């Protein structure tokens, strides 16, 4: 606030209006806060002119001004006002000025409101401090509550993990015993088949047909291969594994156009040709075997082909072909 604002209000030499005096009181208080009271005579002159003709300052105007000062500046401004008002009071109380009584009322009003404002300010600070502590306590309580819940969850998870490990150990022991038993069966079946094959071929005479030998070898190979496959399949089931080398996902994904959504049906658009193909695969054991276990399929096909061809050739050699007449 520049010095021009603290100059005395413009008024006529003989008379000041009520409003002008109200404004002058406000200017004096602001001047005391911003400039201090080094020149006391200036303030004495201004108070003398304001409080002539029995003027009474308005308590509401003083309260409004102090509230504005508090909201616009730091709390030290009011402390500085109190300090300077005490200096003026000490000077005025030792003299006989005409405005002495009015000044003391102004002083009392200012002291009262400054005290109220400071008490309210302290109350706000304490309230904010208490609120901050309450929020901190709530946050800590929530933190420790969450920590307790997390620890409880972790402990329950550990118990569950321990139980799962124990179950897996029991299952693995059972699986190991089953797998060892099946492998023993495979070994016994393999060597037993070799022994049986050896006995069969040793009992065959030298004049035995080579087609019969191939036929017997095909049958034995077919039985031995499928026996081993069945045992391996059981091992996979016991250990929750799969020995399949293919699946039906490819054929399923080809059944739909995944880039085209049918709003009426609420589903992706079907490819009817591929859907029909997929259903045929699901309904055919041979096709399912060919897709999931191609090695088994082709080896069995090869073995069966050898068995059939050797049998047919043996029939041809022995001239025992059956002719079925066809009616035209």
Query: In the numeric block, which tokens belong to residue 291?
Result: 């897709």
Question: Higher model confidence: residue 223 or residue 262?
Answer: 223
114 within 8 A of 32, measured Cβ to Cβ = no
Residue 321: pLDDT over 60: no
- For the chain, the distance separating the N- and C-terminal CA atoms, rounded to the nearest angstrom, is 129
Binning pLDDT at 50, 70 and 90, where does residue 90 land?
confident
Q: Are residues 146 and 103 in contact, defined by beta-carbon separation less than 8 angstroms?
A: no
Backbone angles phi, psi at 115, to 5 degrees: -60, -45
What's the pLDDT score for residue 54?
A: 74
Residues facing 268 on adjacent strands: 261
Band the pLDDT of 324: cuts 50, 70, 90.
Answer: very low
Instruction: Determine which of 65-74, 246-255, 315-324 has the lowest per-residue pLDDT on average.
Output: 315-324
Count other Cβ atoms within 10 Å, centred on residue 2.
Answer: 6
Provide Rg for the chain, Cα atoms.
55
Render 55-118 in DSSP notation, one character per residue. Answer: ----HHHHHHHHHHHHHHS-THHHHHHHHHHHHHHHHHHTS--TTHHHHHHHHHHHHHHHHHHH
- Alpha-carbon gap, residue 223 to 173, rounded angstroms: 31
Given a cut of 60, is residue 322 above it in pLDDT?
no
Element (H, E) at 125: helix 100-203
Q: Please write the tens of the pLDDT for every residue from 228-248.
A: 888 878 877 777 777 777 777
User: How far, in Å, CA of 112 to CA of 101, rounded?
Assistant: 17
**Dihedral Cα 35, 37, 39, 41, nearest 10 deg:** 130
- The residue extents of the domains of the chain are 17-176, 177-317
The pLDDT, as a whole number, for residue 207 is 60
Which residue reads 């021009």 in tokens? Answer: 4
pLDDT > 50? residue 323: no
Give the helix ranges, DSSP H, for 204-284: 210-238, 249-253, 272-283
pLDDT at position 57: 80
The pLDDT of residue 3 is 43
pLDDT above 90 coverage of the chain, percent:
1
pLDDT at residue 181, as a whole number: 67
CB 50 within 8 A of CB 98: no
pLDDT in tens, 158-212: 888 888 887 777 767 666 766 676 677 667 766 766 776 666 666 655 566 777 7
Residues 320-327 have a mean pLDDT of 46
Q: Which residue has the higher pLDDT, 39 or 250?
A: 39
What is the per-residue pLDDT across 49-67, written as a single tens digit (0 to 9) for each? 888 777 778 778 887 888 8
């Amino acid at each position: 606030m520049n010095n021009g604002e603290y100059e005395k209000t413009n008024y006529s030499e003989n008379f000041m209006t009520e409003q002008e005096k109200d404004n002058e009181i406000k200017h004096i208080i602001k001047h005391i806060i911003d400039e201090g009271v080094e020149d006391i005579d200036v303030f004495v002159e201004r108070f003398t002119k304001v409080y002539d003709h029995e003027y009474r300052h308005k308590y509401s105007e003083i309260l409004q001004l102090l509230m504005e000062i508090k909201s616009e500046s730091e709390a030290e401004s009011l402390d500085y006002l109190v300090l300077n008002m005490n200096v003026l009071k000490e000077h005025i109380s030792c003299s006989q000025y005409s405005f002495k009584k009015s000044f003391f009322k102004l002083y009392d009003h200012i002291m009262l409101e400054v005290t109220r404002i400071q008490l309210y300010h302290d109350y706000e600070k304490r309230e904010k401090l208490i609120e901050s502590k309450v929020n901190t306590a709530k946050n800590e309580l929530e933190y420790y509550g969450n920590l307790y819940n997390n620890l409880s969850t972790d402990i329950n998870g550990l118990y569950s993990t321990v139980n799962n490990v124990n179950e897996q150990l029991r299952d693995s022991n059972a699986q190991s015993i089953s797998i060892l038993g099946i492998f023993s069966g495979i070994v016994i079946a393999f060597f037993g088949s070799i022994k049986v094959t050896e006995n069969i071929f040793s009992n065959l005479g030298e004049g035995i047909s080579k087609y019969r030998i191939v036929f017997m070898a095909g049958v034995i190979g077919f039985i031995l291969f499928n026996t081993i496959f069945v045992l391996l399949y059981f091992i996979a089931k016991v250990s929750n594994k799969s020995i399949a080398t293919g699946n039906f996902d490819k054929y399923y994904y080809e059944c739909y156009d995944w880039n085209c959504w049918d709003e009426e049906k609420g589903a992706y658009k079907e490819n009817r040709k591929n859907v029909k193909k997929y259903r045929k695969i699901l309904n055919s054991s041979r096709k399912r075997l060919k897709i999931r276990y191609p090695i088994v399929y082709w080896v069995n096909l090869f073995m069966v082909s050898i068995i059939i061809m050797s049998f047919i050739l043996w029939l041809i050699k022995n001239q025992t072909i059956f002719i079925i007449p066809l009616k035209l």
